[in-house]
Amino acid sequence: MMRWKISVDKNACLGSAVCVAIAPDRFALDERQRSGPVQTEIDPDEMVRDAAASCPSEAISLVDTDTGRPVDLDQ
């Protein structure tokens, strides 16, 4: 069963909260208004793919834990 690993580059994050709005169960803002994953490893979730593809600072990366390759965001 494929799993995705989510990471957010806090230095790149602008606090736009686009990801939090698209996938409120998957991302949360810290006290500095920077995003982070609620859980770092998840089952594939299209909302998370959408959130990563919509990030204005490309701060969200998704990796397929089986292959270690980035998940294709353009689907």
Partner 1 sequence: MTVGSNPVKFTPALPGQPVPEIRTISGDRPVFLAELPDGRIVWLVSGYQNVRQMIIDQRFSRALAVAPGQARQGFEMFAGGSINGMDPPEHTRLRKLVASAFTSRRVEALRPRVAGIVNELIDAMLDRPPPADLAAGFSLPLPARVICEMLGVPAEDTGQFHAWSDTILGDWQRDSGEIMTALVELYSYFGRLIEIKRAQPADDLMSALIAARDDADRLSEEELTVMCCTLLIGGHETTANEINLSLLLLFDHPGEAAKLRADPGLIPGAVEELLRYTRLGNLVPARVTREDVQIGGVTIPAGEQVIPLFVTANRDPSVFSDPDRFDVTRDAANHLSFGAGVHHCLGAQLARVELQEAFRGLIGRLPGLRLAVPASELEFKPGMAIHSLRELPVLWDQP
Binding site for partner 1 (CB under 8 A): 12, 14-18, 20-22, 24, 32-33, 50, 53-58
Residue 64 — φ and ψ, nearest 5°?
A: -75, 115
Taking the least distance from each CB to partner 1, the nearer of 32 and 39 is 32
How do strand 35-37 and strand 41-42 relate by DSSP bridges?
Answer: unpaired
State the minimum distance, in angstroms, from the CB of residue 52 to partner 1: 10
Taking the least distance from each CB to partner 1, the nearer of 32 and 43 is 32
Taking the least distance from each CB to partner 1, the nearer of 14 and 65 is 14
State the minimum distance, in angstroms, from the CB of residue 37 to partner 1: 16
Give CA torsion, residues 43, 21, 10, 46, to 10 deg: 30
